[in-house]
Amino acid sequence: MINQNAGKIAPKEILENIPKLVASYYTNEPDVAHSSQKVSFGTSGHRGKSSNNSFNENHIFAITQAVCEYRLQEGITGTLFIGKDTHALSTPAELSALQVCVANGVRCKIAKNNGYTPTPLISFTVLEANKNSEILSDGIVITPSHNPPSDGGFKYNCTNGGPADTNVTTIIENRANEILQNNLEAVKKVSLQVALQSELVEEFDFITPYVKSLSKIIDMEAIKNANLKIGVDPLGGSGIAVYEKINEIYGLGLDIVNSYVDPTFSFMSCDHDGKIRMDCSSPYAMASLIALKDKYDIAFANDPDFDRHGIVTPTHGLMNPNHYLCVAIWYLFSYRMSWNTNLKIGKTLVSSSMIDRVVESIGKKVYEVPVGFKWFVDGLFDGSLGFGGEESAGASFLRFDGSVWSTDKDGIILNLLGAEITAKLGKNPAQIYAEFEEQFGVAFYERIDAVATKEEKEKLKNLSPNDITSKTLASEEIVGIFTNASGNDAKIGGLKVTTANGWFAARPSGTEDVYKIYAESFVSKEHLKLIQKEAKEIVLLSIS
């Protein structure tokens, strides 16, 4: 059900009480006897709220100590690059982390002037630092992504620049919870004053090297020469200064709206449920920029840590993330002439099958993985994947010469790619996707939730194809049942069922008593609803 405030500027009464939120970070103490208060690394780090004891100073002390111990164990002795976004809890978490890092003798670099650093800039910086060095560096990104202003998040990026894989996060998570269990006895920390004055902490310009290098991955000259009118909404996030620097260096004349930081994010339009959520793939959260669509040839936005992209065109408004992924893939593999012809295209198994149809049409191969960008890191790092993208509007790709750019999601280059496409082809990405629909059919895609107990979710997580007895789905023969991804054979943590003209995937939620059903039909909306209905029946039968 859509909330009455969806798409409207957030009313003052729902704005976050920032002093209370920050006070809770320092005063509330988690009790690891409650699972909801433990350190838990999901698909993108530990996330929580200070008000319910799931993101507090003790969590950050414990996680950072665990990261320092992991670095020591792995012989990682280079710089730890630390970035943060504009959520209210990000700066307190950065300060807590520095206290522990300095006590452990870890050299850190943070943004100048208490500034903010987008996720892709941390990945880019780590890769650049390690390119010709035997002493390896790594990174921490402090962000809860697009989540509400009340939330905090903390993520570790390895020496390959990408989000740590499950093996690494399990080590860090288990050790952090052990530290919490033992009342932080293992935590080494100095006072905040000592940390900030330490020679181990250095301010660093993350922005200029990244922006200067953009010409190695995006045709910035073509964008400038096209004299496009481009609108940018940073959604009050960490990359405002990045777009300002792009204007300074490349002279694109980007029109930047909401170019200020407000930890309440009071300028945001409410999301579908009436909450403030900086989701650049939501038409409700993006209502303000969509209202300006006729003013620009193309416009775009990012979430607070800038790892996601949102594309707005005058012809179609906000593009569905799946639709833009299709266009980006088609364009890159058609126009990046220096790329190796054997490069594969990474997609998550819950992304649209339109991608598969587009990829087949250009003679390339799909590399399908479970949900989570971490599955693309190795392929982007070694240059075997030209592109890696997920349905939630996050992607990255290689430079013009086929070398690695970032191994984490980069919403900046995806947005600029949309401008390059428009500049060079004379039509925007939404118009190109409309041509795909004429050629390959219309895809009807939706994600819904279904109720499930903890026990049922656990069963769903551990299903095997033999547990599915159904032979048909929405009157079509089932042609594939997967509990492991077809690309890398990694466990899905759920189930995917496919037919000739449709599919569904079911995965348990990590935080709620529900499971997520992703479904798609190339027949009709009614066929999609039938797939969703029968998906629930198939799942219920298999976990009961």
Distances (CA, A) of 166 to 140, 156, 340, 407: 16, 11, 30, 16
Quick count: other Cβ atoms within 10 Å of Cβ 156? Answer: 23
Q: Token pair of 106, please?
A: 């870890």
Is 145 one of the annotated active-site residues of the chain?
yes
Angle between helices 429-440 and 411-425 (to 10 degrees): 80
- Concatenated DSSP letters for 25-78? HHH----TTSGGGS--EEBTEEEEETTTTSS-HHHHHHHHHHHHHHHHHHT--S
DSSP 465: G
Mention every residue, 6+ apart, whose C-beta is less than 8 A from residue 232: 243, 254, 255, 256, 257, 299, 300, 301, 415
Of residues 145, 238, 353, 521, which has the active-site annotation?
A: 145
Q: What is the distance between the alpha carbons of residues 238 and 455, in angstroms, rounded to a whole number? A: 39
Q: What are phi and psi of 128, to 5 degrees?
A: -65, -40
Backbone dihedral region of 439: left (phi > 0), alpha (psi from -120 to 50 degrees) or beta?
A: alpha
Q: What is the distance between the alpha carbons of residues 99 and 82, in angstroms, rounded to a whole number? A: 13
Q: Token pair of 293, please?
A: 């669509």
Q: What are phi and psi of 262, to 5 degrees?
A: -140, 110
Q: Are strands 514-521 and 444-451 parallel, antiparallel or unpaired?
A: antiparallel
Q: What is the distance between the alpha carbons of residues 542 and 466, in angstroms, rounded to a whole number? A: 10
Q: What is the distance between the alpha carbons of residues 287 and 269, in angstroms, rounded to a whole number? A: 6
Q: Token pair of 391, please?
A: 């349905």
Q: What are phi and psi of 408, to 5 degrees?
A: -125, 165
- Concatenated DSSP letters for 10-30? PPGGGS--HHHHHHHHHH---
**DSSP reduced 3-state for 311:** strand
Catalytic residue numbers read 145
